[in-house]
A and B are shown apart, each in its own frame.
Chain A
């Protein structure tokens, strides 16, 4: 559980970096509207994470295991993530939701989906399909809340009288650090 939380938090951290726009990652970049960009990323994750978890589980248990092809698990996982991420991106762009520009958007989405997908599938967390579904939805939802909270928090801190040496990145890191501190309260909630 806490490792899942840790992954979630790092996903949020990386996503914030992508939303804020890092030089070189944004050919059509717009740095304004952190919240709208976060919303786009959240939509994509809400599609991609459950999609990755479910499709991998189906492929793994129904196809690969049945055909004794388990050694193909890793390449299949990679291919599925790429497909799921692309589908999610396509849907989000089609819907006209504002989202960060490529390649930051795709890279972040793929990395997060992969990390969360592995976390959900490995270990004893996903003992049944229903549980996996629940976990995937929970992880995507938690990611959504944390990312949106971080985005609005960024907007608030932007107008705060932050001392010059702490402006921008440092205060962002401190915020995420304190966010993680708050999340420590979840330790022990669900036995690993």
Chain B
């Protein structure tokens, strides 16, 4: 009788612990993985430009989390992003590999030569961040503040009327606007 009870108690305890452990393990792995992808994605510049050879920022983040990509594949993020990724992932820091592209010294955004635009909407379809507005057969315009400079709109344009121009908003302007501190103003 005692032996039976002992057997039952032990078996149920073992079962309980195994069950809880399995659940925790599954939850833990999935949650940790999802969270890590999220955290990596948060560090990426979200240009969705595909220079990293992946189809966007999240796919690159996923590849980084799985260890199938390196931290030096994001030219728009530059060395700052590479450094942040190195810190997050505990890998040795590296600067961006120029084979994935070299960014111009100043941030560039797309600009449409409006008289030349034929209103084909191809660039609107290509823009991953909804930064181009315009209707069929009407000229299109880039919303300067929304453009991330991914250059994805340039190849589809049939009349080559899009070019990259230096962006006007810069950190110094942001700084100036947030600095109303000259005394007795």
Q: Which A residues form the contact surface with B (CB < 8 A)?
A: 21, 26, 28-32, 63-64, 67-69, 72, 75-76, 79-80, 82-83, 86-87, 89-90, 93-94, 96, 98, 101-102, 105-106
Our pick among B5, B20, B29, B35 for the contact of A83 (Cβ within 8 Å) is B20
B166 at the interface (CB under 8 A from A): no
Shortest Cβ distance from B30 into A: residue: A93
Which of B87-95, B110-118, B155-163 sits within the interface? B87-95
B6 at the interface (CB under 8 A from A): yes
Q: Which of B1-15 touch A at CB < 8 Å?
A: 2, 5-6, 9-10, 13-14
Assuming the A-B contacts A28-B33, A93-B28, A102-B29, are A72 and B10 also in contact, with contact meaning beta carbons closer than 8 angstroms in the complex? yes
Query: How many chain B residues touch the partner (CB < 8 A)?
Result: 29
User: With A and B bound together, what is the CA distance between A63 and B9 in angstroms?
Assistant: 9
User: With A and B bound together, what is the CA distance between A28 and B28 in angstroms?
Assistant: 11
Q: Are A30 and B88 in contact (CB under 8 A)?
A: yes
B65 at the interface (CB under 8 A from A): yes
A-chain residues with CB within 8 Å of residue B63 when the two chains form the complex: none
Q: Are A30 and B5 in contact (CB under 8 A)?
A: no
User: With A and B bound together, what is the CA distance between A63 and B32 in angstroms?
Assistant: 38
User: With A and B bound together, what is the CA distance between A90 and B17 in angstroms?
Assistant: 12
B53 at the interface (CB under 8 A from A): no
Q: A90-B23, A93-B27 are in contact. List 9 more A-B contacts (CB 8 A).
A: A28-B36, A30-B36, A30-B39, A31-B88, A31-B89, A31-B90, A87-B20, A89-B28, A93-B32
A-chain residues with CB within 8 Å of residue B143 when the two chains form the complex: none
A-chain residues with CB within 8 Å of residue B168 when the two chains form the complex: none
Q: Are B13 and A79 in contact (CB under 8 A)?
A: yes
Q: Are A86 and B9 in contact (CB under 8 A)?
A: no
Q: Are A102 and B5 in contact (CB under 8 A)?
A: no
Q: Are B31 and A93 in contact (CB under 8 A)?
A: yes
Q: Chain A at the B interface: mostly helix, strand, loop or mixed?
A: helix
A-chain residues with CB within 8 Å of residue B10 when the two chains form the complex: 72, 75-76, 79
Q: Are B87 and A86 in contact (CB under 8 A)?
A: no
Which residue, of A26, A30, A72, A106, has the highest number of chain B Cβ atoms within 10 A? A30
Q: Chain B at the A interface: mostly helix, strand, loop or mixed?
A: helix
Q: Number of residue pairs across A and B with beta carbons under 8 Å? A: 86
Our pick among B5, B16, B25, B29 for the contact of A79 (Cβ within 8 Å) is B16
Assuming the A-B contacts A29-B89, A90-B23, are A83 and B13 also in contact, with contact meaning beta carbons closer than 8 angstroms in the complex? yes
User: With A and B bound together, what is the CA distance between A189 and B172 in angstroms?
Assistant: 59
Assuming the A-B contacts A29-B90, A79-B16, A83-B13, are A67 and B23 also in contact, with contact meaning beta carbons closer than 8 angstroms in the complex? no
Q: Are A102 and B13 in contact (CB under 8 A)?
A: no
User: With A and B bound together, what is the CA distance between A30 and B38 in angstroms?
Assistant: 12
A-chain residues with CB within 8 Å of residue B21 when the two chains form the complex: 82-83, 86
B55 at the interface (CB under 8 A from A): no
B-chain residues with CB within 8 Å of residue A32 when the two chains form the complex: 87-88
User: With A and B bound together, what is the CA distance between A94 and B34 in angstroms?
Assistant: 13
Assuming the A-B contacts A28-B32, A79-B14, A79-B16, are A86 and B2 also in contact, with contact meaning beta carbons closer than 8 angstroms in the complex? no
Closest Cβ of chain A to B27, distance in Å, is: 5
